[in-house]
Structure 1
């Protein structure tokens, strides 16, 4: 991936609704050239999709990082079966270090987090969990 593609990706991460014209002017390419590059990034799986991130009205939610420590014979590609379609799991990553998977979760309160952790621990591939409650967002570079 060259520097121009990285610049295009950074622009899309900051604003997934940026127009081809806006991107072209920043990267000094024609609109068709930018479109070809974005199409190629999508085809190659570097851009896997676009999403809207919403802020639901009502009481604020609690966020936590949850680490999963998996059984030795569990493969990372099998990890999504552990948290499946749980709406609380907003993002999940494989990790280098002690834990095997780190998830960003959004829950209503401490009881909801405790319930989620209990459910996760019931999965036979999960040896243990560790949670870190996030208190205050100091920086957010995700698209609004």
Structure 2
């Protein structure tokens, strides 16, 4: 993966429906070249899928950053099993620092968040969690 692939990924993270023409213009490639690169990124598993984030009318969602601290040396696949079936987890990152994983989660409120944290802590690989509830969005751009 080179710098152009990373630029394409960043554009798709910000707008997964961005047209191939707009992406090509942004990265200074032809549309067929961008299509080939995206196809390769999908085949290689770098792009795992596309999703729509739907806001429920009248529903206020609670977002939080949740850090997982895992016991001992754990394999990536084992860590993923801790949260892969939890629809509340929107995205998860391995990180350098005190924790092993940082996740962005969305819940229906504080009771739902507390229930999620309790369930996560019950997993034998999880030593501890630490969370921060998000209050307001100051900017909505996401890049990797």
Q: Give the TM-score, by structure 1 length.
A: 0.84
Q: Which residue does 1:60 correspond to in 2? A: 60
Q: Which runs of 5+ in 2 are unaligned?
A: none
Q: Which residue does 1:76 correspond to in 2? A: 76
Listed one character per residue, the Cα deviations across residues 62-101 of structure 1 (whole Å, up to 9, x for unaligned) are 1111111111143232112222311212111222111111
Q: Which residue does 1:7 correspond to in 2? A: 7
Q: Distance in 2 between matches of 1:50 and 1:59?
A: 23
Q: Is the 8 A contact 1:76 1:100 kept in 2?
A: no
Q: Distance in 2 between matches of 1:36 and 1:73?
A: 38
Q: Which runs of 5+ in 1 are unaligned?
A: none
Q: Distance in 2 between matches of 1:28 and 1:101?
A: 35
SS at match of 2:57: coil
Runs of 4+ residues over 6 Å off in structure 1: none
Listed one character per residue, the Cα deviations across residues 14-72 of structure 1 (whole Å, up to 9, x for unaligned) are 32222222323333333222222222222233322222122122221111111111111
Aligned-pair Cα RMSD in Å: 2.0
Q: Which residue does 2:16 correspond to in 1? A: 16
Q: Which residue does 2:100 correspond to in 1? A: 100
Q: Is the 8 A contact 1:65 1:132 kept in 2?
A: yes
Q: Distance in 1 between matches of 2:3 and 2:131?
A: 37
The structure with more radius of gyration:
1
Report how many aligned residue pairs link the two structures. Answer: 142
